[in-house]
Amino acid sequence: MLDFVTCNEARLRRDPAYDGKFFTAVRTTGIYCRPVCPVKHPLTKNVSYFPTAAAAERAGYRPCLRCRPETAPFCPAWKGSRTTVERALRLIEDGALDIGSVEDLAERLGVGARHLSRLFANHIGASPLQTAQTLRIGRAKRLLDETMLPMADIAFKAGFGSVRRFNAAFQKLYGRPPSSIRRPKR
């Protein structure tokens, strides 16, 4: 947590660099704000600072209706639907679509499959399945470059369900089989 003087100076300047780094609570009103809140500055003697919105709420303060501190930068609510897409991407990277379906992934995220597909189209420009396929091909390409594993092992380690799908994906993307992409042994 920043010291009182630093927080107070940032609040008085309404410095956007500190937005989301601390929250200002006013004892006389029982409200907490972001440092960039456009309301009239309270007296310094009535102000306390908290490192998070949750800490201010735990101390009994309620959020300002003008600056909406619960949606400050770096909070999941501030990111909106991007948070859901980021969580989905982490799950896809961990293999969620290698063994499950888009419906299973959407259920884990608490949204519908169609909504998840719309979010991916808006934020990523591709569907969850296309994203998973790109990640699988990237993993396979790394394994082809860095190891001398047999093609079948690479296919399964990269997340492909079969060697046939592995070959078809490489043929579609690169126009040649994966064996032709492997670097010669040095």
64 is catalytic: yes
Asked if 33 is an active-site residue, the reply is yes
Answer for the pair 161, 129: CB distance below 8 angstroms, yes or no. no
Among residues 10, 36, 64, 96, which one is catalytic?
64
- Choosing from 10, 36, 37, 96, the catalytic residue is 37
Phi, psi of 25 (to 5 degrees): -110, 140
Residue with tokens 């639907």: 81
Q: Is 7 a catalytic residue?
A: no
SS3 assignment, position 110: coil
Phi, psi of 76 (to 5 degrees): -55, -35
Determine contact, residues 17/46, Cβ cutoff 8 Å: no
| Rounded distance between C-alpha atoms, residue 51 and residue 71, angstroms | 14
Catalytic, out of 53, 56, 67, 158: 67
75 is known as an active-site residue: no
User: Using CA atoms in the order 126, 132, 137, 143, what is the torsion angle rounded to 10 degrees?
Assistant: 150
**Exactly one of 10, 26, 31, 33 is catalytic; which is it?**
33
Would you say 49 and 64 are in contact if contact means Cβ atoms under 8 Å apart? no
Please identify every residue annotated as catalytic: 33, 37, 64, 67
